[in-house]
Amino acid sequence: MARSAAAGLLRHLGPLAGEAQARGLYPTQYASTNRAFSRFYWIQGQQHPLYGYGNNVETNDTQQSAQMNFEVQKRSFSSAAAHIQRNPAYSVLNPDDVSYFKSILGESGVVQDEDRVAVANVDWMGKYKGASQLLLLPKSTTEVSKILSYCNSRRLAVVPQGGNTGLVGGSVPVYDEVNGILTCEAGCVLENLSSFVENKGFIMPLDLGAKGSCHIGGNISTNAGGLRFIRYGSLHGSVLGLEVVLANGTVLDMLTTLRKDNTGYDLKHLFIGSEGSLGVVTKVAILTPAKLPSTNVAFLSCNDYISCQKLLLAAKRSLGEILSAFEFMDRHCIDLAMKHLEGVHNPLPVSPYKFYVLIETTGSDESNDKAKLEAFLLRSMEDGLVADGVIAQDISQASNFWRIREGISEASVKVGAVYKYDLSIPVEKLYDIVEEMRGRVGDMGEVLGYGHLGDGNLHLNILSTKYSDKILAQIEPFVYEWTSKQRGSISAEHGLGLMKAEKIHYSKSSEAVQLMASIKKLLDPNSILNPYKVLPQSVL
Amino acid sequence: MKILVAVKRVVDYAVKVRVKPDRTGVETANVKMSMNPFCEIAVEEALRLREAGAAAEVVAATVGPAQSADTLRTALAMGADRAIHVLHDPDPARPLLPLAVAKILRAVALQEKPGLVILGKQAIDDDCNQTGQMLAGLLNWPQGTFASKVIMDKEKATVEREVDGGIETICLDLPAVITTDLRLNQPRYATLPNIMKAKSKVIKKVTPEDLNVDIRSDMEVVEVTEPPKRKAGVILSSVDELIDKLKNEARVL
């Protein structure tokens, strides 16, 4: 599919700030990732007689130019994956509330149309379904502040949601070219920001598959990782300032554009990755690295996992300043990609290898960088770390290599059921769980291991023809317990959301979770922001 | 038999081409340069013929500045046996035209005496689609252009060409010139072992003067400009309005 066409399609799809493994613009990739965490629903009162319908069926809405959606829900979740009892402490939406919202946002900013509200109610996989009855489309910080202040006083639950609206007319980014700092509203689509700064010779410090539809505000709220992570690090490093609206409507101005600022506690970090549970990000100042002209991509094979590890270490030493991606995938991934992806062929068809590695370098001098990469790879081959490999000679070949890595998600959903886990594990142990899982699942499913090896981030996928309790029993809680034992993280870049809110203990001590709960209570005493997510209900 | 393959270094197919502010040409500074995709197909075809036993040696040749050696290295890394680099520093106002390139390649062909010369049907930068035909004319050899299939026999080459409305099959006496179309083959990747081998392969450097070729051009580039930007479309509210626009604005009815 043409990239532009795919990008156009994506604009019709919902937000996906947490997804970070895909780089190309293949819409079906989204289907394979749990997105529940990147959507934030308002859970609200008992079913009100005025709004007598049950769960919504979603359709798309692409006409909005709002920077953010707010949904108001009225019933408990009805979901294939989780049943959550509605908290009776929340109020019920009534006609006066709706009139009030209309008085702030105008008729066009308040959506009650069943079909349009339904758009925002289901996550991409269709795994989680909300029951919102009201969608609000604020255009400014003031409007967000008024909404939250009102909802807090009425105790109406709020789910901030980015993405989904696609066209962001009102958000005009401001750029400081000397310092490379971009200041924009939260509703800017990542891809639009990317082209905006690229015209000025810079790039966004993050890049992910959902870039065509995800909003920068959502990226920050979920601390999205992605493909440039190994080079430019986490958003905790690149975000210089934020403007956040707190649950009670207070506008918290932390929108500084300073590289260094050690005055008091650095509060912005609380909102990066808190998944909308502490406040609503409305403006962002972000540091953008310079765009470099030379990119080289190599696709390699290794005979065993220890070689992949040694290769990573060697790459960090020899390619340090130009290394921009180090991705790995096992043979099962390659076989799957070759079987299910159209027009993709294995660059190393001669004999099957157990592991494949994609290395990308980005630098400022084409011939220097290429010579350096070639010398490194030839040395690695002599040392036996690399069994075979190819180096892209042009951009089309480079995209072909990336297409394989990025297409794994897309290919995996074609099998039927996919159980996806996004784990941070020390690199030397990273592949152990894939092999153990293979032993546990046996003939019931196929286990794939791939991911951002450079960041110690494994994507563990278990494929089967259909979802079954028998397979799930083999996977969970084993996968969480195992990760916990290695002091790994059960969510490397995807977040906790609804799916893993109750699982936080596997990665965080109870003292830490308690402190998080105290912070939540301090910032959102009525717990109106993004309820039931991130933290277990027992601590709130 | 020996096969001579001509390759050209061009702005990468995937790069969005920008015109220089002074309108003398397109921007090439800090822009990714790669082998012309049709030349890649030509190299691949030559390699396949050699692997099938129809040729003993594949020689890649290019005309261009020092950096064009990278393109020859790519051809060598794909599997060509050796390369010839005809050095020429381009002058944007006086670009090297297909006739000059064809004269240079003719001189190279007379020295190398290949049984077959394979070129891309055109380069994606100037889209001339002339060099192969001119070379065949200058050498007075038969030509098979826009090849989508090549079959070698001892003294003959059978070439299938994509023409309007079907496939034309022609038979060429060797030596001959063939230019490649997109569907001829899928070029291979440069593997690490082949990249390593390519490092020890020879690139012979010559100048047009060495070859006694006059590359003076009678043509001068006056100005290079971007195509006009497409105007935004409009959404009409009725069929009547559409008919009115078609009649009075577009004047097609």
Q: For residue A382, give the chain B residue with the closest CA.
A: B193
The pLDDT value recorded for residue A194 is 86
Answer whether A492's CB lies under 8 Å from A421's CB.
no
Asked if B182 is an interface residue toward chain A (Cβ–Cβ < 8 A), one would say: no
Domain ranges of chain A: 3-161, 174-287, 294-485
Quick check: bond before A349 cis, omega within 30?
no
Render pLDDT for A361-396 as a digit per residue (tens, 0 to 9). Answer: 999 888 889 999 999 999 999 999 999 999 999 989
> Does A392 sit within 8 Å of B192, measured CB to CB?
no
CATH code, domain with B100: 3.40.50.620
Residue A25 — pLDDT band, cuts 50, 70, 90?
A: very low
For residue B196, give the nearest of A299, A378, A393 by CB distance: A378
Asked if B11 is an interface residue toward chain A (Cβ–Cβ < 8 A), one would say: no
Domain that holds residue B184: 2-227
Helix (H) / strand (E) element for B200: namely none
Asked if B235 is an interface residue toward chain A (Cβ–Cβ < 8 A), one would say: no
The pLDDT value recorded for residue A81 is 43
The pLDDT value recorded for residue A86 is 76
User: Mean of the pLDDT values across residues B129-144?
Assistant: 96
Sheet holding B203-206, edge to edge: B166-173, B156-163, B143-152, B176-180, B116-120, B2-6, B57-64, B82-87, B203-206
Above pLDDT 90, what percent of chain B? 72
Asked if B15 is an interface residue toward chain A (Cβ–Cβ < 8 A), one would say: yes
Residue B190: CA count within 13 A, CB half-sphere: 29
The pLDDT value recorded for residue A316 is 92
> Does A394 sit within 8 Å of B34, measured CB to CB?
yes
**Chain A hits for B39, Cβ within 8 Å:** none
Answer whether B122's CB lies under 8 Å from B114's CB.
no
By CB atoms closer than 10 A (0-12, 13-18, 19+), residue B158 is middle
Answer whether B217's CB lies under 8 Å from B96's CB.
yes
* Relative orientation angle of helices A305-319 and A366-382, to the nearest 10 degrees: 140
**Can you tell me the distance from the alpha carbon of B28 to that of B70, in angstroms, rounded to the nearest whole number?**
15
Residue A21 — pLDDT band, cuts 50, 70, 90?
A: very low
The pLDDT value recorded for residue A3 is 35
Asked if B13 is an interface residue toward chain A (Cβ–Cβ < 8 A), one would say: yes
Above pLDDT 90, what percent of chain A? 30
Measured CA to CA in angstroms, residue A206 lies from A23, A219, B94 at distances of 10, 9, 43
Sheet holding A279-287, edge to edge: A174-176, A181-185, A279-287, A239-246, A251-254
Q: For residue B73, give the chain A residue with the closest CA.
A: A393
Q: Count the domains in chain B.
A: 1
Tell me if B232 is assigned to some domain.
no
Q: Which residue has the tokens 């891309």?
A: B120
User: Mean of the pLDDT values across residues B222-232?
Assistant: 87
Residue A48 CB: number of other CB atoms within 10 A?
A: 15
Residue B71 — pLDDT band, cuts 50, 70, 90?
A: very high
User: Mean of the pLDDT values across residues A477-504?
Assistant: 86
User: Whole-number mean pLDDT of chain B?
Assistant: 92
Answer whether B31's CB lies under 8 Å from B5's CB.
no
Whether pLDDT at A75 is above 60:
no
DSSP A480-532: HHHHHHTT-BSBSSS--TTTTGGGGGGTS-HHHHHHHHHHHHHH-TT--BSTT
From A164, A227, A145, select the one nearest A13 (Cα to Cα).
A164
The pLDDT value recorded for residue A79 is 37
Answer whether A248's CB lies under 8 Å from A149's CB.
yes
Tell me if B249 is assigned to some domain.
no
Render pLDDT for A282-305 as a digit per residue (tens, 0 to 9). Answer: 889 999 998 888 899 999 999 999
Instruction: Identify the residue among B185, B189, B197, B199 best suited for mutation to test binding to A, counting A beta carbons within 10 A and taking the highest.
Output: B189
Render pLDDT for A493-524 as a digit per residue (tens, 0 to 9). Answer: 777 877 788 888 888 999 999 999 999 999 99
**What letters, b where the CB count within 10 A reaches 16 and e where it falls short, cover B103-122?**
bbbbbbbeebebbbbbbbbb
The pLDDT value recorded for residue A83 is 60
**Can you tell me the distance from the alpha carbon of B186 to that of A279, in angstroms, rounded to the nearest whole number?**
53
User: How far off is chain B from A400, nearest CA to CA, in Å?
Assistant: 11
Asked if A444 is an interface residue toward chain B (Cβ–Cβ < 8 A), one would say: no
Asked if B195 is an interface residue toward chain A (Cβ–Cβ < 8 A), one would say: yes
**C-alpha torsion A161→A162→A166→A171, nearest 10:** 130
From A444, A497, A491, select the one nearest A469 (Cα to Cα).
A444
Identify the weakest region by mean pLDDT among A36-40, B45-49, B238-242.
A36-40
Answer whether A155's CB lies under 8 Å from A97's CB.
no
**Rg of the Cα trace of chain B?**
21
Whether pLDDT at A7 is above 80:
no
Residue A50 — pLDDT band, cuts 50, 70, 90?
A: very low
Asked if A292 is an interface residue toward chain B (Cβ–Cβ < 8 A), one would say: no
For residue B12, give the nearest of A370, A381, A395 by CB distance: A395
For residue A395, give the nearest of B15, B70, B191 by CB distance: B15
Instruction: Identify the residue among A356, A394, A396, A402 best suited for mutation to test binding to B, counting B beta carbons within 10 A and taking the highest.
Output: A394
Residue A311 — pLDDT band, cuts 50, 70, 90?
A: very high
Six token digits for residue A523: 């910032």
**C-alpha torsion A164→A167→A173→A177, nearest 10:** 100
User: Whole-number mean pLDDT of chain A?
Assistant: 78
Residue A126 — pLDDT band, cuts 50, 70, 90?
A: low
**Chain A hits for B31, Cβ within 8 Å:** 293
Asked if A120 is an interface residue toward chain B (Cβ–Cβ < 8 A), one would say: no
The pLDDT value recorded for residue B232 is 82
Cβ-proximal residues to A511 (8 Å cutoff; 6+ apart), any chain: none
Asked if A24 is an interface residue toward chain B (Cβ–Cβ < 8 A), one would say: no
Tell me if B45 is assigned to some domain.
yes
The values of phi and psi at residue B209, to 5°, are -65, -45
Distance of CA B69 to the CA centre of its chain: 16
Q: Which residue has the tokens 């003398």?
A: B24
The pLDDT value recorded for residue B110 is 96
Q: Which residue has the tokens 């626009």?
A: B245
Q: For residue B14, give the chain A residue with the closest CA.
A: A395
Top CATH class, A294-485: alpha beta
The pLDDT value recorded for residue B132 is 96
CATH for A174-287? 3.30.465.10
Identify the weakest region by mean pLDDT among A188-197, A244-253, B130-139.
A188-197
For residue A395, give the nearest of B13, B78, B193 by CB distance: B13
Q: Which residue has the tokens 């030379």?
A: A294
Residue A127 — pLDDT band, cuts 50, 70, 90?
A: low
**What letters, b where the CB count within 10 A reaches 16 and e where it falls short, cover B186-219?**
ebbbbbbebbeebeebebeebebeebebebeeee
The pLDDT value recorded for residue A170 is 38
Identify the weakest region by mean pLDDT among A10-19, A524-533, B49-58.
A10-19
Whether pLDDT at B216 is above 70:
yes
CA angle B163, B169, B175 (to 5 degrees): 110
Whether pLDDT at B40 is above 60:
yes
For residue B191, give the nearest of A294, A366, A389 by CB distance: A389
Residue A360 — pLDDT band, cuts 50, 70, 90?
A: very high
Asked if B196 is an interface residue toward chain A (Cβ–Cβ < 8 A), one would say: yes
**Can you tell me the distance from the alpha carbon of B47 to that of B5, in angstroms, rounded to the nearest whole number?**
10
**What letters, b where the CB count within 10 A reaches 16 and e where it falls short, cover A497-535?**
bbbbbebbbbbbeeeebeebeeebeebbebbbbbbbbbb
Going through A23-89 in order, the beta strands assigned E by DSSP cover 69-73
**Chain A hits for B67, Cβ within 8 Å:** 367
Answer whether A507's CB lies under 8 Å from A484's CB.
yes
Whether pLDDT at B83 is above 90:
yes
Render pLDDT for B239-252 as a digit per residue (tens, 0 to 9). Answer: 999 999 899 888 88
The pLDDT value recorded for residue A69 is 60
Tell me if B233 is assigned to some domain.
no
Whether pLDDT at A77 is above 80:
no
Render pLDDT for A420-430 as a digit per residue (tens, 0 to 9). Answer: 898 999 999 99
**What letters, b where the CB count within 10 A reaches 16 and e where it falls short, cover A52-80?**
eeebbebeebeebebbbbbbbbbbbbebe
Answer whether B124's CB lies under 8 Å from B38's CB.
yes
Residue A227 — pLDDT band, cuts 50, 70, 90?
A: confident
Coil vs helix vs strand at A116 = helix
Measured CA to CA in angstroms, residue A114 lies from A1, A58, A108, A133 at distances of 32, 8, 15, 7
**C-alpha torsion A359→A361→A367→A370, nearest 10:** -20
Whether pLDDT at B24 is above 50:
yes
Render pLDDT for A439-462 as a digit per residue (tens, 0 to 9). Answer: 998 888 899 999 999 889 999 999
Whether pLDDT at A202 is above 70:
yes
**C-alpha torsion A243→A169→A212→A141, nearest 10:** 20
**Can you tell me the distance from the alpha carbon of A162 to that of A171, in angstroms, rounded to the nearest whole number?**
13
| Beta bridge partners of residue A417, listed in sequence order | A464
Answer whether A216's CB lies under 8 Å from A186's CB.
yes
The pLDDT value recorded for residue A68 is 52
Tell me if B251 is assigned to some domain.
no
Asked if B90 is an interface residue toward chain A (Cβ–Cβ < 8 A), one would say: no
Q: Which residue has the tokens 């142990």?
A: A429
> Does A295 sit within 8 Å of B193, measured CB to CB?
no
Whether pLDDT at A467 is above 50:
yes
Which carries the bigger pLDDT value, residue A423 or residue A117? Answer: A423
Which carries the bigger pLDDT value, residue B67 or residue A494? Answer: B67
> Does A374 sit within 8 Å of B13, measured CB to CB?
no
- With a threshold of 0.90, tell me whether the complex ipTM lies above it: no
**Chain A hits for B7, Cβ within 8 Å:** none
Answer whether A326's CB lies under 8 Å from A312's CB.
yes
Which carries the bigger pLDDT value, residue A495 or residue A484? Answer: A484
Whether pLDDT at B124 is above 80:
yes
Answer whether A76's CB lies under 8 Å from A43's CB.
yes
**Can you tell me the distance from the alpha carbon of A75 to that of A280, in angstroms, rounded to the nearest whole number?**
23
